[in-house]
């Protein structure tokens, strides 16, 4: 859904427009929608005070439309990255802590701070009114679970994704446009806050259901990239998906940029089923899910909408939508953390990726 479906003052003002858009998506055969759940909005006023009212209104409309919902726990700033159309910072009371202690933010070697996400170095530091960063995120997600129990129990919410850093990605904010970075420039190390310099740790948690990973740029072709960038998104997607499938992960993807053309859709379809459909059963390798970014007026215009509907049908292998196909199991409570040493111990060396067909066998 649109980044600004909830306003910066945490209200929902587009009920009629959203209802109409959801109806269009239902008519196109879409399975469901994804929505960012912004920490900066829900716990924006003061520590431990959560306001879910606006999100409940949106979730109710999704339920009434008969669609499923992916909820993204977005604990980063919206604004300053590609495609950001609104500015939603992290909570003000968290930024106030940074006024006296700017090392809570990622820092480059010149001392420039990036305030779009808390540095990993404060994960276990009780700097936020007695809570650590991990406790902030955990309390936020616990409140979500408690307040959205009805939607979870009803099976409306079928997927919860957790943003792991700036722009929701597991990375340093090493190439921020808001600080002058221009594609295809090279990023830099952003690990010079005092906490990361003193004790840089990585943390991982195991979910109570099959582990999954979501990767981006599924729509990009190599020949669309600037030669100056020396970028190869097709090979990157192929390597990442192959590595994930080898580890038995559920692999999902999304597009990086809004595209409405058949070339982009066909690239997504090829990546969704790299070796085409299998008439004798499920393909050996296929995506667990795909999230299209994003709902807009342009998507529903004339030929764009017609092509989009064809794309959705091709994603369903030309079959009518059936919610009983590839059913999603109920979400389970997370298990205890797995030490990073155990994760590293089972990591496999880089292997040759699985073969991908040059093009999809079900083009738009």
Give per-residue pLDDT as tens, 21-66.
Answer: 999 999 999 999 999 999 999 999 999 999 999 999 999 999 999 9
> What domain range includes position 300?
209-325+353-363
Asked if residue 202 is part of any domain, the answer here is no
d(CA 151, CA 157): 6
Asked if residue 200 is part of any domain, the answer here is no
Q: What is the pLDDT at residue 83?
A: 65
Last residue of a domain, one of 185, 220, 246: 185
Sign of the torsion angle spanned by Cα atoms 218, 223, 226, 231: positive
123 and 263 in a common domain? no
130 and 30 in a common domain? yes
Give per-residue pLDDT as tens, 251-293.
Answer: 899 999 999 999 999 999 999 999 988 878 788 899 988 999 9
Asked if residue 173 is part of any domain, the answer here is yes
Percent of the chain with pLDDT over 70: 87
314 and 255 in a common domain? yes
Q: What is the mean pLDDT of residues 314-337?
A: 72
Asked if residue 163 is part of any domain, the answer here is yes
Would you say residue 203 has pLDDT above 50? no
d(CA 231, CA 235): 9
DSSP 321-354: P-TTSSPPPPP-PPPPBPPHHHHHHHPPPP-PPP
263 and 163 in a common domain? no
CB proximity list for 258: less than 8 A, separation 6 or greater: 83, 293, 294, 296, 298, 299
CB proximity list for 174: less than 8 A, separation 6 or greater: 187, 188, 189, 190
Of the candidates 17, 27, 169, 228, the residue annotated as catalytic is 169
Would you say residue 247 has pLDDT above 50? yes
pTM for the whole thing?
0.65
Asked if residue 204 is part of any domain, the answer here is no
CATH code where residue 131 lies: 3.20.20.80
Q: What is the pLDDT at residue 206?
A: 43
Number of domains in the chain: 2
Which residue has better confidence, 296 or 332? 296
- Let me know if 235 is a catalytic residue: no
180 and 221 in a common domain? no
Asked if residue 192 is part of any domain, the answer here is no
95 and 145 in a common domain? yes
Would you say residue 198 has pLDDT above 80? no
Cross-strand bridge partners of residue 159: 70
320 and 358 in a common domain? yes
Asked if residue 198 is part of any domain, the answer here is no
Give per-residue pLDDT as tens, 139-151.
Answer: 999 999 999 999 9
Within 10 Å of residue 108's Cβ, how many Cβ atoms?
Answer: 20
Last residue of a domain, one of 185, 201, 224: 185
60 and 180 in a common domain? yes
174 and 36 in a common domain? yes
Asked if residue 193 is part of any domain, the answer here is no
239 and 171 in a common domain? no
Of the candidates 116, 161, 234, 254, the residue annotated as catalytic is 254
d(CA 333, CA 216): 26
d(CA 323, CA 158): 12
Q: What is the pLDDT at residue 190?
A: 81
217 and 175 in a common domain? no
d(CA 198, CA 42): 32
215 and 136 in a common domain? no
- Let me know if 169 is a catalytic residue: yes
């Amino acid at each position: 859904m649109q980044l600004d479906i909830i306003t910066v003052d945490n209200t929902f003002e587009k009920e009629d427009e959203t209802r109409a858009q959801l109806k269009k998506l239902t008519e196109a055969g879409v399975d469901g929608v994804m929505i960012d759940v912004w920490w900066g909005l829900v716990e924006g006023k003061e520590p431990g005070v959560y306001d879910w009212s606006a999100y409940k209104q949106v979730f109710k409309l999704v339920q009434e439309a008969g669609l499923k919902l992916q909820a993204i726990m977005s604990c980063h700033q919206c604004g300053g990255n590609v495609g950001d159309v609104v500015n939603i910072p992290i909570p003000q009371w968290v930024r106030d802590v940074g006024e006296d202690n700017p090392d809570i933010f990622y820092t480059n070697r010149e001392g420039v701070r990036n305030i779009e996400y808390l540095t990993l170095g404060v994960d276990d530091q009780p700097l936020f009114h007695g809570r650590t960063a991990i406790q902030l995120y955990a309390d936020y997600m616990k409140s979500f679970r408690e307040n959205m129990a009805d939607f979870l129990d009803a099976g409306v919410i079928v997927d919860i994704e957790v943003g792991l850093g700036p722009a929701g990605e597991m990375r340093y904010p090493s190439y921020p446009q808001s600080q002058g970075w221009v594609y295809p420039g090279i990023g830099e190390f952003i690990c010079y806050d005092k906490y990361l310099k003193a004790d840089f740790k990585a943390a991982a948690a195991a979910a109570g259901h099959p582990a999954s990973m979501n990767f981006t740029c599924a729509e990009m072709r190599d020949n669309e990239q600037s030669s100056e960038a020396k970028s190869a998104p097709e090979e990157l997607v192929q390597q990442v998906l192959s590595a994930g499938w080898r580890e038995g992960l559920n692999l999902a993807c999304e597009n990086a940029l809004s595209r409405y053309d058949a070339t982009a859709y066909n690239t997504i379809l090829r990546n969704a089923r790299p070796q085409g459909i299998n008439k004798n059963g499920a393909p050996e390798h296929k995506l667990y899910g795909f999230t299209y970014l994003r709902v807009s007026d342009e998507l529903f215009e004339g030929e764009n909408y017609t092509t989009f509907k064809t794309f959705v049908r091709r994603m369903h292998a030309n079959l009518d939508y059936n919610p009983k196909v590839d059913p999603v199991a109920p979400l389970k409570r997370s298990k205890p953390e797995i030490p990073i040493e155990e994760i590293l111990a089972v990591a496999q060396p880089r292997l040759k990726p699985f073969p991908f067909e040059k093009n999809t066998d079900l083009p738009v």
